[in-house]
Structure 1
């Protein structure tokens, strides 16, 4: 694939006092002391860094370090770069001397795979690719791929069949492939938070596809995150106050394979169908990788299952919006 698939966003960073969204290209004139704000891209998604720092030159230097770290991690996790470590693994079926970060993220992914009974499934990529190929054809059947094609792809969607250690990652079956789209943005966000904290930052909001707050705002109030049905900030219908926590949202409306919107990017590894239970699933957790993975898995789970699993986790809150 030559470039990332564009996905609509459902989280908006809110300005401090007026409750207005922080739009790209606009400042925070309403704030008593203006933070340093960076906008860019991370793993193909819009990214934002809001940094409260007394020394603006040091803040800009930190942002330069953050951008370099994000680019380095993209070279590992991106599905859209042929030379990334993940793309090489998918192409060859094995990867010797893998990057430490790839091993770490796959180990984290394995924990969530087990925790959610396989609903969080990084090995779902063959099914995703099947839907993408099917609907890319001009004569595509609007009912989707055939039952046989779906079952064939699902047979490859089993993260338990990935062998992982510090020296080598390998697939047990030919044709397997991984996607880390359900957790990599959260992981990158967590890495950026770690970098900033090591530099002494005590007030920042990091959005590398998912959001995580360091401390509170410069005025001592919590950071405010708006949940929207669409990227347009006028559609914000829920606002969360966040201090030292992360927020991630998953929605089938984020990307659909077909023009009618019947088939979304959130795929059920048990049936091969797309998620249809909720319009939006948002998770608040201590780390962005946790919020990211759980928001994906919860999109495929019944409310009682979600409640039971959330209670087992430390400081995890779930916000569901019904269809």
Structure 2
């Protein structure tokens, strides 16, 4: 019986209604003839979980297990919660006895910092704070913060100042702070996939801001995933096929500090500025963590360097739309 349960083709879909929504809070469960659905909020966005399963009770159990696990991750990674582990680290500069998830994710972040020549940098949070304070002030200068303030903030940035071990996390530079917004969504997606796969689900599509597919659809065809157009609500730039891979998309238009769009949530950790190299960057990779981190980093890197990184990473592809509208694809 156990063998039959583990090999039965079953499908789960975890759907987030808004890009950038990762962590689940609140919510309710409802059963229909076709599925078990969980609906709740994720940092202000509405999120739903839909499970199609032959055993209704098992489907409900899996929904609750996934929700509880992602809530636990929120307690670690959310900048919006003052009691989260990352908020404590940013306040005090040190985290003693960090969770295994925090250590794993920070070590992954530092690996991707190395892979991308520092383009991916979890220590750029002071830049976010600088621009948020500047553009929320009365009559902010449209050119952004002064050169002096920018230089002072850049002195706090740099992934070499983040020290991670199994028993301690430390920020070396005074005033340093980290953000995991460029990688935590992918990590949460992978964690949910692990739970579902460990429960015997052999056909899975998970979407929690980043998307990961295990195997193909129940009928054997690839999962079809649309890549959102950042400049036109509801529109797609293209549709791709996914089988046993993940995809993540990053666009500067996702959040802009100023109406002109010169300053957004993507920061070059060397200059402190927001480059305008691409309209959108999508990365297809074996895991959602990798896709998430690389799509963030590639948004700051020249196309030639992106091609170099993709060339040595198996199963990874970058799909770019340049600032002038050209489409480029690197990797298989």
- Aligned counterpart for 1:9 among listed residues 15, 19, 33: 19
Matched residues in 1 for 2:298 and 2:262: separation? 19
Q: Does residue 1:74 correspond to 2:84, yes or no?
A: no
SS in 1 for 2:241: strand
Check whether the contact 1:52–1:203 (CA below 8 A) recurs between aligned residues: no
Deviations 1:217-247 (A, max 9, x none): 2222111110121497741130011111111
Aligned counterpart, 2:135: 135
Pick 1 or 2: higher relative contact order, CA cutoff 8 A, min separation 6: 1
Check whether the contact 1:183–1:293 (CA below 8 A) recurs between aligned residues: yes
Check whether the contact 2:126–2:176 (CA below 8 A) recurs between aligned residues: yes
Matched residues in 1 for 2:18 and 2:218: separation? 29
Aligned counterpart, 2:193: 193
Q: CA deviation at 1:165?
A: 0.9
Aligned counterpart, 2:271: 271
Matched residues in 2 for 1:214 and 1:232: separation? 30
Check whether the contact 1:94–1:170 (CA below 8 A) recurs between aligned residues: yes
Aligned counterpart, 2:88: 88
Unaligned runs of 5+ in 2: 1-16, 22-31, 324-332
1:1-323 aligned at under 5 Å gives the runs 9=19, 34=34, 36-42=36-42, 47-230=47-230, 234-323=234-323
Q: CA deviation at 1:304?
A: 0.9
SS in 2 for 1:123: coil
CA distance 1:307–1:48, shift in 2 (3 Å): farther
SS in 1 for 2:310: helix
Deviations 1:189-214 (A, max 9, x none): 00110011111111221112211112
SS in 2 for 1:137: coil
Deviations 1:36-57 (A, max 9, x none): 4545444666545453422233
CA distance 1:61–1:307, shift in 2 (3 Å): same
Deviations 1:5-27 (A, max 9, x none): xx97399xxxxxxxxxxxxxxxx
Please identify which structure carries the higher strand content.
2
Q: Structure 1 residues 134-143 or 38-47, which shifts more?
A: 38-47
| Residues matched between the structures, number | 297
CA distance 1:259–1:107, shift in 2 (3 Å): same
The Cα RMSD (Å) is 2.2
Structure 1 length-normalised TM: 0.86
Check whether the contact 1:189–1:207 (CA below 8 A) recurs between aligned residues: yes
Q: Structure 1 residues 44-53 or 144-153, which shifts more?
A: 44-53
Check whether the contact 1:9–1:231 (CA below 8 A) recurs between aligned residues: no
Structure 2 length-normalised TM: 0.84
Check whether the contact 1:47–1:209 (CA below 8 A) recurs between aligned residues: no
Q: Structure 1 residues 215-224 or 134-143, which shifts more?
A: 215-224
CA distance 1:101–1:231, shift in 2 (3 Å): farther
CA distance 1:10–1:304, shift in 2 (3 Å): farther
Q: CA deviation at 1:35?
A: 5.0
Check whether the contact 1:42–1:185 (CA below 8 A) recurs between aligned residues: no
Check whether the contact 1:50–1:204 (CA below 8 A) recurs between aligned residues: no
Q: CA deviation at 1:99?
A: 1.1
